[in-house]
Amino acid sequence: MDKKPTIFDYLSQVFTVFGITVVLLNIFCLLFGESAKEFSTIFSLGSAGLSVKTIFQFLLAIGITDVLRFLFMTDMLIKKMPLGVRVFFLFLAVFISIVIFIVVCNWFPTNNLATWAMFLISFAVSCTVSTLISMLNERAENRRLTEALNKYKEKADE
């Protein structure tokens, strides 16, 4: 039985991803902040950390990403679309929204091919890792459900 998602599920997901993102960004600030200070608005404070402006930009980006995840990965709005197609369109929509943030918020110079290449590589790696984790999680859940069903059948047969 599927549980209907609530606003609390949404907020929990947003703030979990946000927390992980802020920790990683602060680590990047410590490692590369001074050298990237003039290069990206994300590192405007150098190794001192993230600006409030950057933190809120990432919170909004993560909020939008989670809305997109909800739209594409639940049956609430889109019905009868194969999972592979849903995942493709989810990643495409997330990619477009991040590109918009890159351009509007000046996260990195848009006329630099090397930064776009690094972004594309990191986006592809992130998509691959998240897909693999989701697949492993689904397999483990299916295994648990199968075991529970088999136990139930055994008890019913007694």
**CB 39 within 8 Å of CB 108:** yes
Are both 157 and 134 inside the same structural domain?
yes
Are both 98 and 137 inside the same structural domain?
no
**CB 59 within 8 Å of CB 19:** no
- State which residues form the domain around 3: 1-109
Q: What is the pLDDT of residues 52-62, one digit of tens each?
A: 999 999 999 99
Are both 60 and 133 inside the same structural domain?
no
Are both 97 and 143 inside the same structural domain?
no
Are both 84 and 129 inside the same structural domain?
no
The structure tokens listed for 38 are 């003039």
What is the value of pTM for the model shown?
0.82
Q: What is the pLDDT of residues 24-74, one digit of tens each?
A: 999 999 999 999 888 899 999 999 999 999 999 999 999 999 999 988 888
Are both 143 and 75 inside the same structural domain?
no
- How many domains is the chain built from? 2
| Dist CA 136 CA 138 (whole Å) | 5
23 band by pLDDT with thresholds 50, 70 and 90? very high
Buried-exposed string 94-120: b where 16+ CB fall within 10 A, e elsewhere: beebbeebbeebebbeeeeeebeeebe
